[in-house]
Amino acid sequence: MKPLSQRLTSEDIVETVGRIDNASIAAILETGASREELLQAFAWFSQESNTMGEARHALSGRVEQVYCILIGDSEFPDPR
């Protein structure tokens, strides 16, 4: 098993979230997120509800960016 802090590969993303389009995979890779950050974002995505949607402000950084990509929201914060 790879360390959670290791940089993601496209295979890691598909293994974690299932099949998604190549543009989303590329966008997730561009965030520089770790496997741990992908897992956190996917946990939020998997349990999406109105309550969690309202609590979205609890997410930050790369986790929030990956979450926004997963929900199809192209307006995620740019840390640069």
The pLDDT tens digits of the residues spanning 7-60 come to 899 999 999 999 999 999 999 999 999 999 999 999 998 886 444 555 555 788
Number of H-type helices and E-type strands within the chain? 5, 0
**Residue of 46, 76, 48, 47 lying closest to 62 (CA atoms):** 76
pTM of the model: 0.75
Q: Which two tokens stand for residue 10?
A: 């496209």
Question: How is the chain split into domains, by residue range?
Answer: 10-70
What confidence score (pLDDT) does residue 2 get? 65
Helix (H, G, I), strand (E, B) or coil at 49: coil
Give the Cα separation of 40 and 59 in Å (integer). 9
Structure-token match 């999406």, residue found: 48
If one compares 5 and 28, the residue with the highest pLDDT of the two is: 28
